[in-house]
Amino acid sequence: MAVILRNFSFSLSPTYVHKPKYVVSLTPKCGMPLILKNIHA
């Protein structure tokens, strides 16, 4: 997986709104959409 993922850059979706859900560990309430871009294309 690392071999495949090293060919991509990661960034947050422009529509992402930060809404943390407070529990023992912090996780995004509505998920976190990522955008994958091939860095060799």
Reported as a single tens digit per residue, the pLDDT across 6-19 is 888 888 888 988 88
Chain mean pLDDT for the chain: 81
The pLDDT assigned to 25 comes to 73
Cα gap 37→10, rounded to integer Å: 7
Cα gap 35→14, rounded to integer Å: 9
- Which is it for strands 27-28 and 34-38: parallel, antiparallel or unpaired? unpaired
User: Smallest Cα–Cα separation from 36: which of 13, 17, 20?
Assistant: 13
Kindly tell me if the per-residue pLDDT of 33 is higher than 80: yes
* CA dihedral of 33, 36, 37, 39, whole degrees rounded to 10: 130
Q: Which two tokens stand for residue 36?
A: 């994958």
Q: What is the pTM of this model?
A: 0.32
Kindly tell me if the per-residue pLDDT of 23 is higher than 70: no
